[in-house]
C-alpha cells in the first residue's frame, strides 16, 4: 500500500542522497532500499518506481461494502462481502 506520506518520505530521502553520495552503494541497490522495493532486481525497482509515480487504481481506491462499510482492494472480486455476507453487485 502506498500512502502519500510514504511517497513524500521517499522523495525527501532521494533528494537527500542526491545531495550527498551513494557511499559505494550501486544506484539500483540505493533505489531499492530507499523506495522499499520488495523485489530489489532492476525490474522490481523499475516497477516500484512506476507504482510510486502512478499508483495502480487498486492501491488507491478500495472497494467499500455499501451495507457494512468493509473495505478491501478493488482488484479482489468477491461475490459476497467477506465481512457481512451481502451480495456484491460488481459494475
Ligand atoms: Zn459488507
Tell me the CA–centroid distance for residue 58 and ligand 1, in Å: 18
| Per-residue pLDDT at 4 exceeds 70 | no
Highest mean pLDDT among 5-9, 58-62, 76-80: 76-80
C-alpha cell at 89: 453487485
Tell me the CA–centroid distance for residue 86 and ligand 1, in Å: 6
CB of 59 within 8 A of CB of 51? Answer: yes
Tell me the CA–centroid distance for residue 24 and ligand 1, in Å: 51
Same domain, 65 and 84: yes
Domain housing 45: 4-55
> What's the domain count of the chain?
2
CB of 55 within 8 A of CB of 73? Answer: no
Same domain, 8 and 50: yes
Q: What pLDDT digit, counting tens, does each position of 47-71 carry?
A: 999 999 988 776 778 889 999 999 9
Same domain, 8 and 43: yes
> How much is the pTM?
0.61
What gap in Å lies between CA 82 and CA 67, rounded to an integer? 12
Same domain, 65 and 42: no
C-alpha cell at 15: 533528494
pLDDT-derived band at 77, boundaries 50, 70, 90: confident
Q: Residues with Cβ < 8 Å from 29, sequence gap 6 or more?
A: 40
Same domain, 45 and 74: no
What gap in Å lies between CA 79 and CA 54, rounded to an integer? 29
Tell me the CA–centroid distance for residue 18 and ligand 1, in Å: 47
Amino acid at each position: 500500500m502506498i500512502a502519500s506520506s510514504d511517497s513524500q518520505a521517499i522523495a525527501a530521502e532521494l533528494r537527500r542522497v542526491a545531495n550527498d553520495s551513494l557511499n559505494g552503494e550501486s544506484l539500483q541497490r540505493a533505489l531499492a532500499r530507499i523506495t522499499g522495493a520488495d523485489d530489489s532486481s532492476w525490474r522490481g525497482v523499475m516497477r516500484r518506481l512506476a507504482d510510486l509515480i502512478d499508483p495502480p487504481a487498486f492501491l488507491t481506491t478500495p472497494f467499500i461494502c455499501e451495507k457494512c462499510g468493509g473495505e478491501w482492494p478493488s482488484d479482489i472480486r468477491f461475490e459476497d462481502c467477506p465481512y457481512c455476507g451481502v451480495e456484491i453487485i460488481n459494475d
